[in-house]
Structure 1
Amino acid sequence: MTQREKAKQPIEADVVVVGGGPAGINAAIAAGRLGARTVLIERYGFVGGMSTAALVYPWMTFHTVEGKQVIGGIADELVRRLQAIGASPGHVRDTVGFVNTITPYHPEVYKTLAVDMLHEAGVKLIAHSFVDSVAMEGDRIAAVRLTSKSGRLEVRGKVFVDTSGDADLAYLSGAPTLQGRDEDGRTQPMTMKFRMRGVDLAKVKQYMLDNPDEFYRKTPIDELESLPLSGVMGFFKQWNAAQLPINRDQVLFFTGPEPDEVLVNTTRVQGLDGTDVEDLTEAEHLGRKQAQQVADFMIRELPGFERASLSQVGAQIGIRETRRIVGRYTLEAADVVEGRRFDDVIARSGYPIDIHDPSGKGVAASWVKGDGAYDIPYRCLLPQRVNNLLVGGRCISTSHEALATTRLTPSCMATGQAAGAAAALAAEQGLAPGELDVRLLQEALRAEGALLV
């Protein structure tokens, strides 16, 4: 069979997952482990999404502010397997002080390990492929159509999972979506992240100990001498004096994976739409210019960076917020802050609401009350109007404010696992995902180590 003839043959699956970021990886592994014929479609030549292409590092957080672990399952298994091969120290204290723990990892090793785990679960990975249209049969998706290096491909399935981050599949299939905050539709800013090598982290830590007022108020200065430095937020004096044309109020970076390396999260591109190709093109250019400006400033002005150099910029700009579905339930800010529980819980999170201002300099944070964690209900994964579609990751059904916690990678991993498991169970039983007994889903998630209480 020629390549052209092969491309004309539909690929058949039980579960089709669109988007190979952390949510999609976990969705596909979960579905494959439950015996579903599973296909994962990814536009890049590697998996990992924002965690690899956009250098969104480290993962935060698997725990509550008090240190109770609330995210487990496949996400935590990935961390343990990275630890076993020396590619992560595991969950470590956050020396920024914003959360209790963060989880550093080596992104290049993660790319490989994730594909190994997909193969172990029997998942077929189709990379270098972009979903650009959907074939509908009434209120069901019959197939997705891809543009690929092999030409046009069609993938048919029983149940589909949208882990694109941008609700691309939901949008193309006609499911209702929202974008941005209610008053003006503006989204949280994009950030072009970059790495620097040659950083003297001992010198950075000593400066923090000598100048505690120059850093975030929750920085654990009293414990810093005994803690490995994992992250830094501050250098207020130097940042304010520099007057860079970036609408942010401090420097933020995280250490590792190498001992002289940091990942800088300081650029800010506002007012552009991450689902508009022209806006994205402009955002990429602005983000790369800002990365060079910030790196030059850090080398020139910050103690410990005198011999540092810019070593890597993200393959794409990091996107915090675009489209999200309108589901059967919309998680609200009050649900998060009050630590609400739901009978149909499929994931929990302890990350606070963390809104990077769509137009200003600051970050607005609201912490979770009670035991420090909130439930994410299954209904947030079920879009309206399309009966054989589930959603996991950044584009689940939330308000603009609640998305500022569910968008974080461990939460996306957890909702991705839930969506994949639900898809496999629904396909096996010949049900629409909305008809599935959520107790069976919860049982399947617990069997894979998910933490639901």
Structure 2
Amino acid sequence: MTNQRISTIEVDVVVVGAGPAGIHAALAAGRGGAKTVIIERYGFAGGMSTAALVYPWMTFHTTEGKQVIKGTPQEMIERLMAINASPGHVRDTCGFVHTITPYHPEVYKVLAVEMLREAGVRMLFHSFVDSVEVTDDHIQSVTLTSKSGRIELKAKVFVDTTGDADLAYLSGAPCLQGREGDHLTQPMTMKFRMRGVDLDKVKSYILQHPDEFYRKTPIAELPDLYLSAVQGFYKHWKEADLPIKRDQVLFFSGPEEDEVLVNMTRIQGLDGTNVEDLTLAEELGRKQVLMVAEFMTKSLPGFEKASISQVGAQIGIRESRRIEGQYTLEMGDVVEGKRFSDVIARSGYPIDVHAPSDNGVIVSWVGGDGAYDIPYRCLLPKKIDNLLVGGRCISTSHEALGTTRLSPSCMATGQAAGTAAAIAVMHKLTPQDVPISLLQEKLQEQGAILFGDVRDGQHD
């Protein structure tokens, strides 16, 4: 029998998952003075934004162009812009939202690690949590399986930014999955890139056939805009009659001038937390990639010389487990544009639910001033007293998850979770006892937008 020696590391804060939420959680905790470790199963940061090619980031603004997410996410955008790895916030030329934010994923991987190192965060990549020690609803430690053996991490506060609520689930915190009743989740998508695309030819076709594209496409402005996104080609997709439950073509430009990111495959009815389902989803998704790419090169103007340049390292997961928190954000809260006294982040992205079992997308728009609040209580599980959650697995309904799952929202809730963790450590509190006024003050000092009229900071 192999002798597996376990080494032990003691820190203040452990962040599990180095996706968009985890990066900003660890940054906030480290900058807040907490001795912080971040855990990631891949050898690079970025999570869905890199491993699954989720691109571009959408959105930091309301549908009217008012910016509601800043803080460390905006700092990261500005640093990417400074090294020519992002054009910043640009108009969404399919018109679904006002802005999207392209970025170069390979540069993002490097910058994210640089920023984590600057904040004093220790990184344990090529590792994942496989067991959790809990005493009286308090996490004592987590144990990692890694390339160099098993590692025990002891900490005062833990932050789950896995997207799948892995840490919360293993600790015994109550979790939910999918929609009420049948527990089906939004479909998974294997994304891929193509190069050799003539985007000028694509734009010309859109201008000549506007009725074949999404109704909100800004046709009148399109000649003067960078073609950032395309949604439509309805006639071409219908004629192709592929065995994929989707009703349109969708792709985004970049990062290279002749390159697009294709978001069209759809795998339904499988569980993103089940290893056999995930294996099958990867198999089916990669087959669909080849099918869709062949359709695009044969049928779409501008794609005649295009070819696949990259396929995701893993399939993209929109929905899996989420915590049952001290408050559950509901669909009504979003469409009302509800404000909360314990707000820790805002978002202007609409509810966007890809149908778990048919070919449509259900969209519900944000009311009020165009943005809604995410309360701190959504980051706090009902049971475990030293656990915070950020990103896709915060406490929401199935419908409300259709907006909070987007990367900028995940970045914002991650920043809030990491800031709260640092406050809890510095003041010897549990996350539940962190004064909301102090947390909000710290977030605002970091540039987060929590209060006031979102008409301030309008995007041009």
- TM normalised by structure 2 equals 0.97
Aligned AA (2:202):
V
> More displaced, 428-437 or 372-381?
428-437
Q: What is the aligned length? A: 450
- Residue matched to 1:181: 179
- Residue matched to 2:444: 446
Aligned AA (2:336):
E
SS of aligned partner of 2:283: helix
Check conservation: 1:60, 1:101, Cα contact below 8 A.
Answer: yes
Note the 1:72-221 alignment, pairs <5 A.
Answer: 72-221=70-219
Distance 2:152 2:254 in 1: 41
2:62 maps to 1:60: no
Distance 1:435 1:159 in 2: 13
Cα offset, 1:6, TM superposition: 11
C-alpha distance 256-143 of structure 1, shift in aligned 2 (>3 A): same
Give the alignment partner of residue 11 of structure 1, picking from 9, 12, 15.
9
Distance 2:4 2:249 in 1: 51
- Residue matched to 1:242: 240
Once the two structures are superposed, residues 423-451 of structure 1 have per-residue CA deviations (whole angstroms, 9 ceiling, x without a partner) of: 11001111110011011110110111101
- Residue matched to 1:434: 432
Distance 2:126 2:114 in 1: 18
Distance 2:419 2:10 in 1: 19
- Residue matched to 2:20: 22
Give the alignment partner of residue 359 of structure 1, picking from 334, 357, 360.
357
Aligned AA (1:391):
V
Distance 2:130 2:383 in 1: 20
Distance 1:176 1:132 in 2: 18
Give the alignment partner of residue 269 of structure 2, picking from 238, 256, 271.
271
Question: Post-superposition, which runs of at least 4 consecutive aligned residues in structure 1 deviate over 2 A?
Answer: 4-9
Cα offset, 1:183, TM superposition: 1.9
Check conservation: 1:295, 1:310, Cα contact below 8 A.
Answer: yes
Distance 1:67 1:205 in 2: 23
Give the alignment partner of residue 419 of structure 1, picking from 402, 417, 420.
417
Check conservation: 2:64, 2:370, Cα contact below 8 A.
Answer: yes
Distance 1:377 1:308 in 2: 45
Cα offset, 1:9, TM superposition: 2.6
Any gaps of 5 or more consecutive residues in structure 1?
A: none
Give the alignment partner of residue 341 of structure 1, picking from 333, 336, 339.
339
Check conservation: 1:7, 1:150, Cα contact below 8 A.
Answer: no
Distance 1:351 1:7 in 2: 47
Aligned AA (1:147):
T
- Residue matched to 1:231: 229
Aligned AA (1:434):
Q
Once the two structures are superposed, residues 119-166 of structure 1 have per-residue CA deviations (whole angstroms, 9 ceiling, x without a partner) of: 000000000001010011211001110100011111110000000000
SS of aligned partner of 1:401: coil
Check conservation: 2:252, 2:262, Cα contact below 8 A.
Answer: yes
Check conservation: 1:179, 1:322, Cα contact below 8 A.
Answer: yes
SS of aligned partner of 2:30: helix
Check conservation: 1:180, 1:323, Cα contact below 8 A.
Answer: yes
- Residue matched to 2:458: none
Cα offset, 1:168, TM superposition: 0.2
Check conservation: 1:54, 1:316, Cα contact below 8 A.
Answer: yes
Distance 1:5 1:393 in 2: 37
- Residue matched to 1:321: 319
Distance 2:282 2:14 in 1: 30
Distance 2:383 2:400 in 1: 23
Check conservation: 1:177, 1:324, Cα contact below 8 A.
Answer: yes
2:391 maps to 1:393: yes
SS of aligned partner of 1:311: strand
CA RMSD of aligned residues (A): 1.1
- Residue matched to 1:350: 348
Distance 1:5 1:182 in 2: 45
Once the two structures are superposed, residues 347-396 of structure 1 have per-residue CA deviations (whole angstroms, 9 ceiling, x without a partner) of: 00000000000001010101111210000000000001100000000000
Cα offset, 1:5, TM superposition: 11
Aligned AA (1:266):
M
Give the alignment partner of residue 404 of structure 1, picking from 396, 402, 405.
402
Check conservation: 2:7, 2:150, Cα contact below 8 A.
Answer: no
- Residue matched to 1:306: 304
Distance 1:105 1:362 in 2: 28
Percent of residue pairs identical: 72
SS of aligned partner of 2:419: helix
Any gaps of 5 or more consecutive residues in structure 2?
A: 452-460
- Residue matched to 1:32: 30
